[in-house]
Amino acid sequence: MTIERIIVRNYKSFQNLDLCVNNDMNLLIGNNGTGKSTILEIIHLALTGNLRNRPIYYEINPYLFNISANNKFVEDARRFQGGEIETVEPPKILIEIYFSESDDQELNKFRGTENSLIKDLLGFSLSIRFDERYSEEYREYLANKEISYIPTEYYSIEWRSFGDSIITPRSIPFKSYLIDSNDASFGQLPQKHFMGIIDNTLDNKQRANLSVLYREYKEQFAKRDEVIELNKILNEKKKGSFNKDDPKELTLSLDVSRKTSWESAVNAYIDNIPFDNIGTGNQNMLKSVYAVQNRKDKQTILLMEEPENHLSFSNMRKLLSRLEELSVGQQVFISTHNSYVLNKLHLNKLILLSRENHSAMNNLDDETVRYFQKMPNYNTLRFILSDRVILVEGPADELIVTKCYTAKYNGKVPLDDGVDVFSVNGLSFKRFLDIAKLLKIDTSVVTDNDGDFAKNIEKKYADYRETFINICADQNNTLKTLEPQFLYAGENYESLKKVLDKEDLTVEELENYMQKNKTDWALKVLMDDEEEFDFPGYIKNAVR
């Protein structure tokens, strides 16, 4: 049994989230702020009741709520105070975890129709909602003229099965294990692992002998001449600082009490280097492996936050291979920005996230998925992580679009404004647009009409008429490609002769030269700071 669906209402960045997941590996891909970490947090919270290593009871605050829910509450509260409405409904956070089907009779208590889908399914919900016991206090709060936030002090938490029975996290059939290399507690894992090995290796006699040796070592410290001399100096200093008549001596030594036994003093070394000093990348590798090895049997959902942190490609390969071995039979969720992780774990495991939408990669048609599986995954990830993209057919188009952008925006290049321009094979435009439709990525396509605008543009891209998709091509069928488009735009002929050092060429000869030297002429135009150029309308449309 695994998680197969997650529905969320009003939690942090998600006002409404309905996410279907894979039953083994789930790779969360998205730019910063798209909710990758939040999804891991949601799963861990629902299954364990913990948020940031603390029970959720201690962590309820207005900032857990989606900003839209908070703003609506404040707006309704003000309308209530103005007498426009009779009451204000306190918003709630809802997290629903749907299980895959199972014949296990013990899970019947999780089966029912008390869910957002109103279907007979296995699962449970976690709600953070207003507690009716505070109704009187809530009415007084609404009378406050300075309301800015949801009054979470009057909220409580409840887990319920889809069969409408109250449950606790302990009764959920599986738990989650969250691995986050930025978590302070994560740093203690190697030491715990090392001490676990010792516990399983030493018998009582060996442990007792180590304790005796450790105590003898600390006692010898106080007997060294250097320490004796230091203690004499300390007592001389003491006479000027404490009560002169106090006969007590001040000495420096090591604590030999039981609370400072050898177990608390030993440290893990890697190749004779203390673990804390071996480098962040190697630390994160070992911590991740130790975390998976030391999980409890019941913790079957493995959650990993950006395992690539501080790792080279070779170490990333080793880590992923090891984690795949250790997580066999478990459901895994990994958030990442890394193209190598994308390549290693395969596109059919992807869950794509953007600020506007989310979707599993397997929602694309099979042909598109096969296309991306064959191509270098860097371009796939690059496109997914972009806020705005301009797709072009080749290097020359990319250079001219960049030049147009620089001319329009006073020397800025597109990336200065978060606009990514990159070239793909013209036949591939529709594959990228399929992803753009799923994630609502702001995408412009700069393409040639190839002599037939109606066929090659209007008909070809008829299925991609979205507000966030902009197909940019010229309708003049006599200007089939970029070269004649640019050459015949405004006064570019004279400027191009100077920049390309082709003063003796006719316009036809210059066009022929540009067709045969596509990248060279475009690069010279990009690098030129003297001439001003007119740009074709369809390129200006893409730059906008």
pLDDT in tens, 150-184: 999 999 999 999 999 999 998 998 888 887 766 55
Q: How confident is the model at residue 45, as a pLDDT?
A: 95
Please tell me the least confidently modeled range out of 80-94, 274-288, 344-358: 274-288
Q: How confident is the model at residue 111, as a pLDDT?
A: 95
pLDDT at 345 over 50: no
Q: State which of 160-164, 210-214, 351-355 shows the largest mean pLDDT.
A: 160-164
Mean pLDDT of 306-321: 66
Q: How confident is the model at residue 534, as a pLDDT?
A: 94
Contacts of 514 (CB under 8 A, 6+ apart): 483, 486, 487, 496, 500, 521
pLDDT tens for residues 221-236? 777 888 888 878 877 7
For 57, list phi and psi in degrees, rounded to 5: -55, -35
Q: Which has more pLDDT, 317 or 342?
A: 317
Mean pLDDT of 243-257: 64
Q: How confident is the model at residue 412, as a pLDDT?
A: 92
Q: How confident is the model at residue 246, as a pLDDT?
A: 60
Q: How confident is the model at residue 507, as a pLDDT?
A: 94
Q: What is the mean pLDDT of the chain?
A: 83
- Tell me the pairing of strands 331-336 and 25-30: parallel
Q: How confident is the model at residue 349, as a pLDDT?
A: 77
b/e sequence 366-386, b meaning 16+ C-beta within 10 Å: eebbebbeeeebebbbebbbb
Tokens of 540: 């200006």
Binning pLDDT at 50, 70 and 90, where does residue 277 land?
low
d(CA 482, CA 472): 12
Tally the C-alpha atoms within 13 A of residue 391's C-alpha that lie toward its C-beta: 27
Q: How confident is the model at residue 381, as a pLDDT?
A: 72
CA dist 449 → 4, 398, 421, 422, 540 (Å) = 45, 17, 20, 19, 16
d(CA 399, CA 526): 6
490: left (phi over 0), alpha (psi -120 to 50) or beta: left
Best CA proximity match to 533, nearest among 440, 361, 407, 376: 407
Tokens of 122: 């296995």
3-state secondary structure 282-312: HHHHHHHHHHHHCCCCCEEEEEEECCCCCCC
Best CA proximity match to 94, nearest among 209, 12, 4, 190: 12
- Tell me the pairing of strands 121-130 and 388-392: unpaired
Q: State which of 82-86, 95-99, 104-108, 342-346 shows the largest mean pLDDT.
A: 95-99
Q: How confident is the model at residue 228, as a pLDDT?
A: 82
Mean pLDDT of 299-312: 72
pLDDT tens for residues 388-424? 999 999 999 999 999 999 999 999 999 999 899 988 8
Mean pLDDT of 475-501: 94
* Amino acid occupying residue 475: Q
* Amino acid occupying residue 446: V
Q: Which has more pLDDT, 266 or 507?
A: 507
- Tell me the pairing of strands 3-11 and 93-99: antiparallel
Q: How confident is the model at residue 544, as a pLDDT?
A: 85
Please tell me the least confidently modeled range out of 320-324, 364-368, 411-415: 320-324
Best CA proximity match to 142, nearest among 80, 61, 63: 80
Q: How confident is the model at residue 420, as a pLDDT?
A: 93
Binning pLDDT at 50, 70 and 90, where does residue 514 land?
very high
Taken in order 508, 509, 512, 514, the sign of the CA dihedral is: negative
Q: How confident is the model at residue 416, as a pLDDT?
A: 92
Helix ranges (DSSP H) in 153-259: 189-201, 204-223, 225-241
Q: Which has more pLDDT, 282 or 397?
A: 397
Q: How confident is the model at residue 372, as a pLDDT?
A: 73
pLDDT tens for residues 124-133? 999 999 999 9
Q: How confident is the model at residue 368, as a pLDDT?
A: 78
Q: Which has more pLDDT, 292 or 232?
A: 232
pLDDT at 104 over 80: yes
For the full predicted model, state whether its pTM sits above 0.75. no
Binning pLDDT at 50, 70 and 90, where does residue 375 land?
low
Please tell me the least confidently modeled range out of 247-251, 349-353, 524-528: 247-251
